[in-house]
Chain A
Amino acid sequence: MKKFFKIAVVLSVMALAAGSVYAWNWPWADKSENKISLTGSTTVLPIAQKAAEEFMKANPSVEVSVKGGGSGVGIAAILDGSADIGNASRAIKTKEVINARSKGINAVGNEVAKDGIAMVVHKSNPVDAITLNQLRDIFSGKITKWSQLGGGSGKIVAVSRDTTSGTYEVFSELVLRGAKLRDDAIMTVSNREVAENVKNTEGAIGYLGLAFLSDEMKVLKVEGVLATEANVINGTYKVARPLYMYTNGEPSGLVKQYIDYVLSPAGQKIVKEVGYVPVK
């Protein structure tokens, strides 16, 4: 037993000593100073790609590579060091935090944009406001008539985005919250198609990104708050989520320069152009 514990103690000390070797500089392990890589969320991808193009124009000696793969891929890339920035349209999960900390990684989420979803109905619909629970009941099929909400007569026509879209992802997470989407929902492939359906169908209700709102449909207040850029930014509008660029520790060097660019007025203009809400 004594020998067993002696061996265990010696090996533990050796392991901790090896860990402290990281304090030394290993020049052959340095990554290129003129290259950064991003991977992850397909929702954040348009922001990252457009910002990368503009950033490289302003800094011709710098190379920025951007890939998709999903938020999980982005966060995993930070954990295994295969990317400098992991894009994510969700907060890092507890399991991922613990895994990261075990590996000595301090994953920091840098919020670069917000993704807001507006609830829209036909212009003639008398309903002005709705709650999250009512939305959930409508899109899960529990509420089927407008009269159940104090509206006019007529059947509710639910218009949804396809389940592979980021917009559906937000809607599912924040509105459906575990409920199954009703089988008779009209499935569409784009925000524009949602807008067309709602504009042309009297009993329709749908959801789309703020950038696709127009005077041809009516926007509902959700939990008493209207879907505006200001309300998404100040956090009072609930059907919205932050978009992140995750880094290992606080950003520094070229990574910081790139993220600072995304957060600059020029970068936030790109955020608006691709259909999202700026953080400020």
Chain B
Amino acid sequence: MKNVLRITAAAVLSMAISAGVFAAGPETKIYGYNWFRYTLGYDNAKEKTSAFEVKRTYVRVKTSGDGYEGALTLDYENTEAQEKINFGTWVKYAYVDLKSIPLLMDAGMTVRAGLQPVPFGTIDTWEYPLIEKALEDKFKLADSADYGVTLRGYLPAELGNFEAGIISGSGYKKAEANLAKSVVASVNVVPITGIYVRGSYLGHQIGEDTQVNGQPSSLAKYADRKAVVLGFGSGPISGFVEALESKDQKSSGKSGIGQFISAYLGMEIVDGVSAHAMYMVSNPDTLKVRDEKNVYAIGVNYDVTEKVLLQLNYQMEQDKVGGASSPVTTNLWMAQTKWSW
């Protein structure tokens, strides 16, 4: 399967490059990013990790022509650093934006079809000012990309934008596990310059057949996610607070409500140097104790050149928070270069 995927990706990329070289009509851009990271980690003061990794490489192809824009992203991810070198290849995005559909075009709306970013919370808007992932990605509350069709448009008077659609619900790394689809919707409102509010909903429905590959499924029969993001930007300072609630119905019939919060603050210190801080708290099931997790992250970014960013981060994660016993604490020191080309 991996070889099939690699060959397919290489073929698609070759065609895309050829289209860019030989086509007179569409405009095609090829660009990408590469992350090289060093991580030093301690679990309760005991050294556990010391690793260099080419963490990730994205190769992106974007093409635009009359009435459409297409995007393809290949994701080369080193998933097993310290155990072996394994650049797993994924097709992260492969979608087309259709801009000339009658009636929709007049209303300024676009249909996006394919493997696309999931428009929920901050998972699709997080630009990695810190090395850590967005809340939904970190605690596996939503997938960063999924297969589906979404409608995208703008609110009147340029007050904001919205996305709504149907996705598979299983993400871009798994085969679809059920017959039912998931729905996703987000509305982003900018009531005054410098303040925005985004509300998102993600609903998974799983059909009656809870068997996966012949085995009883532990997947939830339904899962809801609701998120609200309140953000601001003012001069060199920007930030947001996100609150997310999840409801997962276990196949045993016992419901669990999860609550999650993240807060981010970033500031440009001088030209090319910025500081960032983030706090996340995860309580995946309010009926359980000692399943909470806290994450604190701070970092400094430095634009070494126009194309190379250096990130220095410290991160503390507390696991099994709550109850009488002390949490398990992990300290991570990370240095990462992000190279754009």
- Chain A positions within 8 Å of B, measured between CB atoms, are 1, 4-5, 7-8, 11-12, 14-16, 18-22, 26, 28-29, 31, 81, 94-95, 97-98, 101-106, 163, 176, 178-181, 187
Contact = CB atoms under 8 A, between A and B. Distances in A.
A26 B241 contact: no
A179 B45 CA distance: 65
B236 A22 contact: yes
A11 B278 CA distance: 11
B259 interface: yes
A81 B193 contact: no
Given A11-B261, A11-B263, A28 B237 contact: no
A44 B250 CA distance: 60
Given A22-B235, A29-B270, A94-B154, A178 B100 contact: yes
Interface in B184-239: 188, 190, 193-194, 196, 230-239
B241 A104 contact: no
Contacts of B271: 31
B193 A101 contact: yes
B116 to A, nearest CB: 16
- Please name the 3 residue pairs, one residue from A and one from B, whose CB atoms are nearest each other, closest first: A104-B194, A103-B233, A104-B233
B136 to A, nearest CB: 16
Contact of A11 (B100, B236, B241): B241
A56 B193 CA distance: 34
Contact of A101 (B194, B281, B283): B194
A140 to B, nearest CB: 10
- A15, A81, A95, A181, most chain B CB atoms within 10 A: A15
B158 interface: yes
11 contacts: A4-B261, A5-B243, A7-B281, A15-B241, A15-B265, A19-B232, A19-B239, A102-B194, A102-B231, A176-B66, A178-B100
Interface of B: 24-25, 27, 66-67, 100, 108, 154, 158, 160-161, 188, 190, 193-194, 196, 230-241, 243, 245, 259, 261, 263, 265, 268-271, 279, 281, 283, 286
B270 A18 contact: no
B237 A18 contact: yes
A139 B238 CA distance: 48
Given A19-B232, A98-B158, A178-B67, A163 B25 contact: yes
Contacts of B231: 15, 102
Contact of A29 (B27, B160, B245, B268): B268
Contacts of B239: 15, 18-19
For chain B, what secondary structure do more than half of its interface residues adopt (helix, strand, loop), or is it mixed? strand
Contacts of A12: 230, 241
A19 to B, nearest CB: 4
A105 B193 contact: yes
Interface centre among A5, A14, A26, A103 (most CB of B within 10 A): A103
A20 B190 CA distance: 18
Given A15-B263, A19-B234, A94-B108, A28 B269 contact: yes
Contacts of B24: 163, 181, 187
Contacts of A22: 234-237
B241 to A, nearest CB: 5
Contacts of B188: 98, 102
Given A19-B194, A29-B236, A8 B269 contact: no
B130 to A, nearest CB: 16
Nearest to B153: A94
Given A11-B261, A18-B265, A104 B66 contact: no
Contact of A8 (B161, B238, B243): B243
A94 B193 contact: no
Contacts of A81: 236, 268
B236 A105 contact: no
Contact of B232 (A4, A5, A104): A104
A94 B240 CA distance: 22
A15 B232 contact: yes
A98 B237 contact: no
A15 B230 contact: yes
Contacts of A179: 66
Contacts of A163: 24-25, 27
Given A18-B237, A22-B236, A98 B190 contact: yes
A249 B268 CA distance: 19
A68 B237 CA distance: 28
Contacts of B241: 8, 11-12, 15
Contacts of A14: 263
Nearest to A92: B158
Contacts of B232: 15-16, 19, 104
A248 to B, nearest CB: 10
B193 A7 contact: no
Nearest to A185: B24
A94 B190 contact: no
Contacts of B237: 18-19, 21-22
Contacts of A105: 193, 233
Q: A94, A102, A187 — which one has the most chain B CB atoms within 10 A of its CB?
A: A102
